[in-house]
């Protein structure tokens, strides 16, 4: 195993080169740099010279504070990406290495490398010729986002074998999220509740939302499926030339779940013109034309397997997941910002306020949203 001095910020390039040698990558590493993506893991892009051609890979250190069982996480990712590629090949699809993440095995054939400090690293092929966006810029992009995640679910609907692991147990268990918020309010270890009084009042007043989907799943009216569970718009890679969705990324939370949670998070991250931490709340709002294109794209790929009980709660799911994420940001703010990376004081509180403002906008348009879905 690789042993190195602890690095508390970013890894230095020489140390990252040592990490890279543990994987089946052949060629000379030229340079590596921090790759800013997501809130959770530590990510780098590295460029190699392979026979005179420059090739890029992604090296990523898994955040053990968030993902308590990295071995199970990597087992999931390997199983899911292998199944998706096999389905695409069976369909005669082209450009497969740009449509599904490709894990690079270690020198001993594993999907991850564990250092002597018990850090877990993985490597992916860098997907070239694509770009991501923090927010939707056009109805066409919303359609592509919906289609991409709908297709991802559809490709996994027939995966066989044992139930895949829950990488974060009860990740979208909205009752548990609400209870965690109540505990954070009660404890108020950082004396921040006074700064978030309106947000706390809003959250407590919306408790009636949290059990709706959970109750339907408990009655088995809504089935458990394999879902992405983090369907932010920036987790879809779009072709830089055509704008077509190519690849769904950030698979750490792929696990058993409910398709409504996936669709709801798409609504949250595509229908508002702002980033999720927008401070000017006057800019925040659910755009119905964007929602319609998102729903069209999603149903074009997922409509074949959805049940009527799932379809009936599509508009509601956008409200619920936006509320849930707002609760999570508020809980993290009250708890000292231990989960989501922050880049400024009160960052998680700003994120919470943005989500709750979007909840209000969805509430005003929920009937129109569901009426449109019912026609698809």
Distance CA 331, CA 340 (A): 11
Same domain, 68 and 213: no
Same domain, 236 and 349: yes
Give the residue ranges of DSSP H helices in the chain: 13-20, 70-90, 139-156, 174-187, 197-205, 212-218, 259-270, 288-302, 308-311, 314-334, 347-374
What is the percent of the chain where pLDDT is above 90? 84
Q: What is the CATH number of the domain that holds 108?
A: 3.30.200.20
Whether the per-residue pLDDT at 167 is higher than 70: the answer is yes
Q: What is the per-residue pLDDT for 306?
A: 97
Distance CA 87, CA 151 (A): 11
Same domain, 124 and 145: no
Q: Of all helices (H) and strands (E), which one includes residue 191? A: none
pTM of the predicted model as reported, rounded to 2 decimal places: 0.89
Q: Which residue has the higher pLDDT, 50 or 34?
A: 50
Whether the per-residue pLDDT at 8 is higher than 70: the answer is no
Which of 128, 155, 171 lies at the terminal end of a domain, its last residue? 128
**Residue 104 DSSP one-character state:** P
Q: What is the per-residue pLDDT for 6?
A: 38
The count of domains in the chain is: 2
Same domain, 88 and 60: yes
pLDDT digits (tens, 9 = 90+) for 233-244: 999 999 999 999
Residue 35 banded pLDDT, cuts 50, 70, 90: confident
Provide the 10 A C-beta neighbour count for residue 75. Answer: 16
Q: Which domain holds residue 313?
A: 139-374
Residue 1 banded pLDDT, cuts 50, 70, 90: very low
Q: What is the per-residue pLDDT for 37?
A: 61
Same domain, 261 and 209: yes
When mean pLDDT is compared across 23-32, 321-330, 347-356, the lowest value belongs to 23-32
Q: What is the per-residue pLDDT for 139?
A: 96
Which of 79, 104, 128 lies at the terminal end of a domain, its last residue? 128
Please answer whether residues 67 and 251 qualify as being in contact, where contact means their C-beta atoms are separated by less than 8 angstroms: no
Same domain, 288 and 335: yes
Residue 17 banded pLDDT, cuts 50, 70, 90: confident
The answer as to whether 133 is a domain residue is no
Distance CA 47, CA 27 (A): 10
Q: What is the per-residue pLDDT for 4?
A: 38
Average pLDDT value for the chain = 93
Mean pLDDT of 180-199: 98
CA 178 to chain centre: 20
Token pair for residue 298?
């999603």
Mean pLDDT of 331-358: 95
Residue 28 banded pLDDT, cuts 50, 70, 90: confident
For the chain, give the number of residues: 376
Q: What is the per-residue pLDDT for 11?
A: 56
The answer as to whether 229 is a domain residue is yes
Same domain, 119 and 170: no
The answer as to whether 186 is a domain residue is yes
The answer as to whether 101 is a domain residue is yes
Mean pLDDT of 38-42: 72
What are the strands, taking DSSP E only, across 85-139? Answer: 113-114, 120-125, 130-131
Whether the per-residue pLDDT at 9 is higher than 60: the answer is no
- Inter-axis angle of helices 197-205 and 314-334, nearest 10: 140
Whether the per-residue pLDDT at 10 is higher than 60: the answer is no
Same domain, 280 and 207: yes
Q: What is the CATH number of the domain that holds 191?
A: 3.90.1200.10
The answer as to whether 155 is a domain residue is yes
Same domain, 184 and 291: yes
Q: What is the per-residue pLDDT for 80?
A: 97
Distance CA 315, CA 310 (A): 10
The SS3 assignment for 239 reads: strand
pLDDT digits (tens, 9 = 90+) for 294-305: 999 999 999 999
Same domain, 146 and 108: no
Q: φ and ψ at 42, to 5 degrees?
A: -100, 120
Q: What is the per-residue pLDDT for 324?
A: 97
Q: What is the per-residue pLDDT for 82?
A: 96
Which of 87, 104, 128 lies at the terminal end of a domain, its last residue? 128
Q: What is the per-residue pLDDT for 243?
A: 96
Look up tokens 């959805």; give the residue.
306
pLDDT digits (tens, 9 = 90+) for 196-230: 999 999 999 999 999 999 999 999 999 999 999 99
Mean pLDDT of 103-107: 97
The answer as to whether 271 is a domain residue is yes
Residues 6 or more apart in contact with residue 29 via CB below 8 angstroms:
17, 20, 46, 47, 48
Whether the per-residue pLDDT at 3 is higher than 80: the answer is no
Q: What is the per-residue pLDDT for 39?
A: 57
């Amino acid at each position: 195993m690789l042993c190195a001095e602890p690095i508390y910020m970013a890894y230095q390039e020489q140390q990252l080169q040592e990490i890279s040698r543990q994987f089946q990558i052949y060629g000379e590493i030229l340079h590596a740099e921090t790759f800013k993506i997501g809130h959770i893991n530590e990510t780098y892009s590295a460029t190699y010279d392979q026979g005179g051609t420059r090739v890029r890979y992604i090296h990523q250190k898994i955040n053990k504070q968030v993902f308590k069982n990295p071995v199970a996480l990597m087992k999931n990712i390997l199983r899911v990406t292998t199944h998706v590629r096999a389905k695409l090949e069976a369909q005669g699809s082209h450009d497969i290495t740009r449509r599904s993440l490709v894990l690079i095995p270690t020198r001993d054939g594993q999907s991850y490398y564990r250092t002597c400090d018990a850090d877990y690293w993985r490597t992916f092929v860098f997907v070239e010729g694509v770009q991501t966006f923090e927010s939707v810029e056009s109805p066409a992009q919303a359609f592509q986002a919906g289609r991409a995640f709908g297709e991802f679910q559809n490709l996994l609907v027939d995966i066989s074998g044992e139930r895949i692991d829950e990488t974060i147990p009860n990740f979208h268990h909205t009752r548990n999220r609400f209870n965690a918020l109540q505990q954070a309010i009660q404890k108020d270890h950082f004396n921040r509740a006074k700064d978030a009084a309106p947000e706390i009042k809003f959250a407590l007043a919306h408790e009636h939302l949290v059990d709706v989907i959970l109750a339907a799943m408990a009655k088995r009216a809504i089935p458990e499926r394999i879902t992405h569970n983090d369907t932010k718009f920036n987790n879809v890679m779009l072709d830089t030339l055509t704008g077509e969705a190519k690849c769904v990324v950030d698979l750490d939370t792929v696990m058993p779940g409910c398709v409504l949670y996936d669709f709801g998070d798409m609504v949250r991250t595509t229908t508002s013109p702002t980033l999720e931490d927008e401070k000017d709340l006057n800019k925040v709002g659910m755009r119905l034309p964007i929602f319609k294109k998102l729903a069209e794209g999603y149903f074009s790929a997922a409509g074949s397997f959805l049940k009527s009980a799932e379809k009936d709660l599509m508009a509601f799911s956008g409200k619920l997941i936006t509320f849930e994420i707002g609760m999570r940001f508020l809980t993290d703010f009250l708890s000292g910002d231990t989960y989501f990376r922050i880049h400024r004081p009160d960052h998680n509180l700003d994120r919470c306020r943005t989500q709750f403002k979007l909840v209000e906008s969805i509430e005003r348009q929920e009937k129109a949203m569901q009426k449109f879905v019912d026609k698809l």
